[in-house]
Amino acid sequence: MNDIISPQLQSWAREYVRRVGAKVPPVPAPRRRKLLVVHLDGVPKAHLDEAVRTGGMPFLSKLVRSGAYSLDEAFWGSPASTPFFQAGFLYGLRHPNLPAYSWFDRELGRKVQMNTPRDALAIEERLGRREGSSLLADGGHTYFSLFQAQANNRLCMSTLANFKVMARGFKHEMEGVLVARTQTPLSYLRGLGKDAWRAFTEVYRWSRALRDWRHEGGFLISRVFLQRLGWSFAHTKALVDMVRGVPAVYLVYGNYDEVAHRRGPQSEQALGELRRVDAYLAELYAVARTVDPGYDLVFLTDHGHVDSLPLEQRTRQRLEALLLQGEAPPLSEDVARGLLDGRPHPVESEPWATEEPVVIESGNFSHVYLTRGLQPLEAAQLVARHPEVLARATRHPDIGIVAMRRGDSAVAVIHGGVYGPDDIDGAPLSTEFSRRAVADYLRELPHMSTAGDLVLFGQAVRRGGTVGFAWEFGSHGGLTRTETSSVICWPSDLPVDLSGLSHCTQLHERLSEVYRDGARPAVYPDTRFAEAT
């Protein structure tokens, strides 16, 4: 709609498409209807609702309030983390066996972290996806995702593991970038220098006030090279892709997520990233409506962020020491009875191998591995072998939920009671937690052999805040309403309804009908920015 963005931006988009189209060749694309998905990583729904209401993100606000776009809440399933979401959204995998962003992998025998290229590649290779099953198959492109997902380009985490492959694709990735730049090199370098200096001074002040420099070096590098250089490059490439006619583009904006982890989701730095991205979204929309045929632009978030109050600050103790050291209180008889569920108290008839436990602090939740075997322990084995760990976890006031497998299902210990997925409505949960998400997580846990023998979730200790096990000040992956309430925002004239989604695989299926399987014809209303006659 021409009244959503200014005449100046419309004019810029027409000139941009003309200029870039004269320099870069089109791509053969059998799909008539084309798609651009912009993934706003980690942005809480409440932030976007407020931005729409107040105009804090002017472009997004106009888009929604004009009626051109629908904005709806979505629930993608548990855990509320990017790997799980992307496996379901891109590949349509219902149970991808991805328990967090980092975990101890039983098959690989080591800790994996999804921002490590070799780990992302190893995990993608075993996802069990079928050729052609990805939303990006047959010519799509992806930028800053964890998985390549059969895209034609190689700007994602898993492809960074192979330097030779990256080097071979360098010329292809640079195609159109120079002609498509929106700033002169001098002005861009001047702006980058100012951003780098501001980032350095902010990191110095923060670390000095906190008296802790953990993660700050990496955060500074991320701010300058990934959040500024990287995003600018990816945004430019997405614009070029639309001019060339790439059939599907998936663009991940991770800046807010990165800042929220280190400074908190309510921090001025994090909120500033939303104001920054709004201008980029306007440019993407303008070009999407100018090229012919146009692009359907869909916005989404994969999870929210809550304030994270580090356990180490609260207790002067890391989670591993809290669980594994010191005198343990007795395991509650009620908890033991609930975990055994009518089975006799187990007596180990054969000795079992003692293994060094592994505790992975994944944010405001944690995976605890008391065995490194391929098969995780279930409740009866935990009662028999590790009652002291169970007692410390289930009795500590900063641990709100302790989840584990019980037989073929899973249960959660909450305030001394044992609850299955169908019992969660009666559990004494803080109002910060989502009962729907807790029940969903317990149903998913038996499908995640990579998850810990115990999965711990930090207690909700204030509105919008939980105890965190990692040294960070914004967390996700837990089970609060803020973390598990996501956003889907789509054109009102889209020939598929994206409301009421209760799992990320549903989004995959509905978009595939239109953009991959070609089940529906392309019909575009006459709202593109045509030349005035």
Residue 341 · residue 406 · CB < 8 Å: yes
The pLDDT profile of the chain, 533 residues, written as one tens digit per residue, is 467 889 999 999 999 999 999 999 998 866 778 999 999 999 999 999 999 999 999 999 999 999 999 999 999 999 999 999 999 999 999 999 999 999 999 999 999 999 999 999 999 999 977 777 899 998 999 999 999 999 999 888 877 766 555 555 555 666 666 566 666 666 666 766 777 777 788 878 878 888 887 888 887 777 776 767 788 889 999 999 999 999 999 999 999 999 999 999 999 999 999 999 999 999 999 999 999 989 999 999 999 999 999 999 999 999 999 999 989 999 999 999 999 998 887 766 555 666 899 999 999 999 999 999 899 999 999 999 999 999 999 999 999 999 999 999 999 999 999 999 999 999 999 999 999 999 999 999 999 999 999 999 999 998 889 999 999 999 999 999 999 999 999 999 998 999 999 999 999 999 999 998 654 433 434 444 444 32
- Tokens 């390549």, residue? 148
**For residue 400, which amino acid is it?**
G
Q: List strands edge to edge, sheet with 69-74.
A: 69-74, 486-491, 295-300, 34-40, 248-253, 141-143
Residue 359 · residue 472 · CB < 8 Å: no
State residue 199's pLDDT score.
75
Query: Cα–Cα distance between 43 and 299 in angstroms, integer?
Result: 11
Residue 412 · residue 442 · CB < 8 Å: yes
What is the per-residue DSSP string for 192-236?
HHHHHHHHHHHHHHHHHHHT--TTHHHHHHIIIIIIIIIHHHHHH
State residue 517's pLDDT score.
65
From residue 396, alpha-carbon distances to 311, 314, 460, 527 in Å are 11, 13, 13, 59
- Contacting residues for 243 by C-beta, under 8 A, at least 6 apart: 16, 17, 20, 21, 24, 176, 180, 287, 291
Its pTM stands at 0.91
CA dihedral 21, 27, 31, 32 (to 10 degrees): 20
State residue 355's pLDDT score.
80
Query: Cα–Cα distance between 316 and 212 in angstroms, integer?
Result: 13
DSSP letter at 28? P
Residue 455 · residue 393 · CB < 8 Å: no
Query: Cα–Cα distance between 389 and 368 in angstroms, integer?
Result: 10
**For residue 255, which amino acid is it?**
N
Alpha carbon 243 to its chain's center: 28
Query: Cα–Cα distance between 314 and 459 in angstroms, integer?
Result: 12
3-state DSSP assignment of residue 477: coil
Residue 290 · residue 245 · CB < 8 Å: no
What are the extents of the domains in the chain? 7-304+485-515, 309-481
Query: Cα–Cα distance between 33 and 31 in angstroms, integer?
Result: 6
State residue 526's pLDDT score.
42
State residue 504's pLDDT score.
98
CATH class of 7-304+485-515: alpha beta
Alpha carbon 403 to its chain's center: 22
DSSP letter at 76? -
- Contacting residues for 170 by C-beta, under 8 A, at least 6 apart: none
Structure tokens that stand for 28 in this block: 């053969």
- Tokens 């998985």, residue? 147
Query: Cα–Cα distance between 302 and 300 in angstroms, integer?
Result: 7
